[in-house]
Chains A and B, each alone.
Chain A
């Protein structure tokens, strides 16, 4: 019988003890003594967030398919347990076998957002693993980082033994085989890491030397040894219908954020929005075969008993067999009370029909993500959504009975003016006008338009990686313009407005385009008590600001200044396929307010072609347009 690592007294004293007991349906049970490799997978946030993440489920399943490996899980203890563990010197433990993390061979940490960085240190510290890779011994687990934030790993480079750059499905067998062989040969930790650096996609920070110019910018970033590669090439899965996928995902006992089957229908995006990092990192778009998806959906629903299935992708409307798939799911599962959730859909006749079938029109809302308020601004960011698209879509939705509209925007976009900010309010007003044009007897009371803005943060590997980020003052000034111009609108009582916190965005900006100098800042912030920075109630900007001031880290250097064309970036040693030349071309086009075609309409030569898969190999007509193209220049709406 399994028994909890924590005592009954502790489990009864904390919130939601089920976060720490494991034992969920589809948890893998193995005899650890019969496995050569013990791998602990970590999402450095609370259980309910971590358990909602598809990537971990994919890797958990993949690792456990290996007989010689037992993959377990760990998440960040919530603040209540964190405090008790520190007071009583209780080490962090895995969920499956309730074993201290320090006993594992590997600790793999997924890096989904920048604001989880202090939680990485929390996990290492509570586990008893030295925070810096250089201080670890042969007894400590090898700490691996992966996920979107590993595409600029430098701010946290010194906490990791190596980073896996790319999609996890491709290279772990080679890594684990190398580990076993090295152990058998009596090799050391350093020997193993050196061998790992030879595997494509792997970055071992300790094997690189960084030098800086006097102004703080990067002067050089070079391997210390000739056998270590100068650039690290991203790994991609070329055939997504012929790879591992968790047919028996874990089913948490407690309610988590994504309490449903997640079906990833495709990876990547054709749209090329210039602010979007995922849109560049996961190029080229690769679809999964529709019959394969139907089969996997059935197996996952059977094995989990979930009441809902959701399609996951960056822009579902661009999936070429979407209608087939969606109607199949609705027709097959409706009578079993299984709900089909469809995020990121373009609002058109098809999506409205589908939504009507799966949602309550009176309660649900229609979502648009125009991202910017004026056409000029949308051209700058290459968001191919026009005012006509939005008003037309909203009109159809109103005819269908919907009365709630959500609009998502970003503030502080490059070249943004006061007029662009006012455009947000004006667009909201235009939507209300569409509604009130419907004869009174045909409409259902008031319309409700919910405007929400977040602040734009330039990210690595996007055309805006050179751009200056707006200052906090600029953010706030534009936010106030939106607020006051909404109030000036005729139908202002139908429009509500919400905005994000600007301090969090400032820190996220610093981490996003940061360099190795930030390792000290993050460690110091952790030592002064910062964890769960992604949770606004635990984010202490004043502490961060104080440390940055002490260490001479300026917001201007990392965020505000526009970088020069020839600046060497901390992440330039990573090759994601999309070239720096292409990104710069896109940056210049954005300044000229020129839009670029999507991948299906016409190839822009971004460089991802070298992977030889997905949209890059779709057949094309004489004008270079993919035969899979649906002719819609509008991508995702929400």
Chain B
């Protein structure tokens, strides 16, 4: 049976790398006595597929991976058993079953599904006029930043990769811009901030383009905004929290846990 897991990562665990996290989950499944399916071959390894690596030092309430069990177990039981095998700073928040056979064209697993990500970006000293700056930014058609990739640098239209923007202040939200393409309610956004560590309870909430084709990282966005607002280099502490990952579903961008298969 194929299963999709959504989990949170916070506290000191935000310094766990992607590979360490994979090792961690493999061992967690053993502790939970949930038999992971192994690949064929002389060195069998469990079939685990993570959606998108999270940058070191970020917290998250919206991390995902898909995996395969050798037997059918009720989803609620998987949740309970695996949760009991978790450490304190990596916790499950949803388990859902995936259909066993999916045609390649439907793209429901792993990285290929991801088209957006939402982040909460909090600064120890948020610029006073950030709201005005963000509003002006969203009125632009184009804002080019230089993106560093494996093959060197290339220009990238940052504005095009930004969909929604909100300012969050201790439970209150101010909408800066909504693209209308995301299926994510205010309540759901609040829920996705459960384990965020926000300075003064304030943050910029932003949905960004994500996935293999064009990926805008939270750092890239922040750097771009700081540069656009002429705030200079970041000199204070920052905290970045990933709220969720989104995929295209019936022409909308929907958090992965809401996609019905």
A18 to B26, CA, bound (A): 18
B60 at the interface (CB under 8 A from A): no
A21 contacts B38, CB within 8 Å?
A: no
Q: Is the interface of A mostly helix, strand, loop or mixed?
A: loop
Which of A23, A98, A305, A307 has the most CB atoms of chain B within a 10 A radius of its CB?
A305
Known contacts A304-B27, A305-B28, A337-B38: does B87 contact A21 (CB below 8 Å)?
A: no
* Residues of B within 8 A of A (CB-CB), count: 31
B27 contacts A306, CB within 8 Å?
A: yes
Q: Which residues of B contact A17 (CB under 8 A)?
A: 15, 56
Known contacts A1-B197, A8-B237, A305-B85: does B27 contact A23 (CB below 8 Å)?
A: no
A209 at the interface (CB under 8 A from B): no
Report the nearest A residue to B237, measured CB to CB: A8
Report the nearest B residue to A301, measured CB to CB: B30
A4 at the interface (CB under 8 A from B): yes
Report the nearest A residue to B21, measured CB to CB: A253
Residue-wise interface mask of B (56-78) relative to A, using a CB-CB cutoff of 8 A (1 in contact, 0 not): 11000000000000000000000
Residue-wise interface mask of A (463-488) relative to B, using a CB-CB cutoff of 8 A (1 in contact, 0 not): 00000000000000000000000000
Report the nearest B residue to A363, measured CB to CB: B42
A21 to B11, CA, bound (A): 9
Q: Which residues of B contact A98 (CB under 8 A)?
A: 12
A49 at the interface (CB under 8 A from B): no
Interface residues of A in 267-311 (CB under 8 A from B): 301-307
A3 contacts B57, CB within 8 Å?
A: no
Interface residues of B in 163-222 (CB under 8 A from A): 195, 197
Known contacts A18-B16, A22-B12, A25-B87: does B57 contact A12 (CB below 8 Å)?
A: yes
A254 contacts B20, CB within 8 Å?
A: yes
A263 at the interface (CB under 8 A from B): no
A2 contacts B26, CB within 8 Å?
A: no
A3 contacts B11, CB within 8 Å?
A: yes
B10 at the interface (CB under 8 A from A): yes
A253 contacts B23, CB within 8 Å?
A: yes
Known contacts A304-B27, A305-B27, A360-B42: does B197 contact A23 (CB below 8 Å)?
A: no
Interface residues of B in 10-37 (CB under 8 A from A): 10-13, 15-17, 20-21, 23-24, 26-31, 33, 35
B15 contacts A18, CB within 8 Å?
A: yes
Q: Which residues of A contact B31 (CB under 8 A)?
A: 25, 302-305
A337 contacts B44, CB within 8 Å?
A: yes
B80 at the interface (CB under 8 A from A): no
Known contacts A3-B11, A8-B237: does B88 contact A253 (CB below 8 Å)?
A: no
B12 contacts A4, CB within 8 Å?
A: yes
A342 at the interface (CB under 8 A from B): no
A534 at the interface (CB under 8 A from B): no
Q: Which residues of A contact B38 (CB under 8 A)?
A: 337
A8 contacts B57, CB within 8 Å?
A: yes
Q: Return B110 CB to nearest CB of chain A, in Å.
A: 22
- 23 chain-A/chain-B pairs, Cβ below 8 angstroms: A2-B11, A3-B12, A4-B15, A8-B237, A11-B57, A12-B56, A18-B17, A24-B87, A25-B31, A25-B87, A27-B87, A98-B12, A251-B27, A253-B16, A253-B24, A254-B17, A255-B23, A305-B26, A305-B30, A306-B30, A336-B30, A337-B44, A360-B42
User: What are the 10 A-B residue pairs with the smallest beta carbon separation, nearest first?
Assistant: A305-B27, A305-B30, A21-B12, A305-B31, A17-B15, A253-B20, A2-B11, A23-B12, A1-B11, A25-B87
List 12 additional A-B contacts (Cβ < 8 Å) besides A254-B17, A302-B33: A12-B56, A21-B13, A21-B15, A23-B13, A23-B88, A23-B89, A25-B87, A251-B27, A253-B16, A255-B20, A305-B31, A337-B44
